[in-house]
Amino acid sequence: MTASEAIDQVAVTRQIAALGVQRGGVVLVHVAFSKLGPIEGGPDGLIEALRAAIDPGGTLVMPSMCDDDDIPFDRSRSACRAVGLVADTFWRMPGVLRSDNPHAFAACGPQAARITQPHPVDAPHGVNSPPGRVYDLDGQVLLLGVGHDADTTIHVAENLAGVRYRRPKYATVFEDGRPRRYEYGETDHCCARFGQLDEWLGKKQRRAIVGRAEARLAGSRDIVAAALERLRADETVFLHPSGACAECDEARAGLPAVQ
């Protein structure tokens, strides 16, 4: 596909707006740019299309966590290529704030300072985290070319539900000017079963094509409520059965032994 066949930026803005993104609202975006197809202006063009859809009164949020747990995180320099080209472009743009944490998020707009204020390393996506603050602000979650397996907001529900599974993790941070390896147990697993949210959300989720990929849009609170309902009935609802997935098995190993 040639540059001349790139999707017009204005057309992308219209597609995003038609999906139901709230003008003036808070929108947390996860995106796989390669799935959307060539867009006029590349990643910058998609970001501008998103900002136009929510208008200057809205706040755009993206994941911005570091790529290497062995290197101390520096919010002014550390790349976040693992969460996509668009996210790694976004935090570098003028006027975008980035939280000072290995599990960073970046944001621009009126609520950016609130969303990117300090958050704990050992509860990356809990209530006191950028996705948790999007939830508190009654924001929306927009998935472009990815499914709910990339949806960090579901981890907020796990935190609220008090799930007991953990995987051993570590991150490197600066303390008193020196690097420190911070070890902790994180509510984490393969996340493939987060895809159940497609069924659970039903009409509370809107799906359409943006660019050349499927997009999903739902309220952060609707996502959390749907996940919480199932987690309270079965805290392992997002884990694969024992023996089916190494990551989920590792998480299950963190559960208290049955007496």
Instruction: Please tell me the predicted confidence (pLDDT) of residue 76.
Output: 93
Instruction: Please tell me the predicted confidence (pLDDT) of residue 1.
Output: 45
Q: Give the closest residue to 161 by CA, choosing from 241, 248, 233.
A: 233
Instruction: Please tell me the predicted confidence (pLDDT) of residue 31.
Output: 98
Instruction: Please tell me the predicted confidence (pLDDT) of residue 4.
Output: 56
Cβ-in-10-Å burial (0-12, 13-18, 19+) of 4 comes to exposed
Instruction: Please tell me the predicted confidence (pLDDT) of residue 166.
Output: 93
Tokens 């596909």, residue located: 1
Torsion angles phi and psi, residue 161, rounded to 5? -75, -15
Instruction: Please tell me the predicted confidence (pLDDT) of residue 257.
Output: 72
State how far the Cα of 197 lies from the Cα of 193, in Å rounded to an integer.
8
228: enclosing H helix or E strand: helix 220-233
Instruction: Please tell me the predicted confidence (pLDDT) of residue 28.
Output: 98
Using CA atoms, how far residue 102 sits from 23, 35, 73, in Å, is: 30, 27, 5
Query: pTM score, two decimals?
Result: 0.95
Instruction: Please tell me the predicted confidence (pLDDT) of residue 38.
Output: 93
Using CA atoms, how far residue 201 sits from 154, 197, 198, 217, 229, in Å, is: 12, 6, 6, 10, 11
State how far the Cα of 19 lies from the Cα of 77, in Å rounded to an integer.
34
Residue 193 CB neighbour total at 10 angstroms: 18
Mean pLDDT by 10 residues, the chain (259 residues): 75 97 97 94 97 95 95 93 96 97 97 97 94 98 98 98 95 88 93 98 98 97 98 97 96 78
- Please count the CA atoms within 13 angstroms of the CA of 50 that sit on its side-chain side: 31
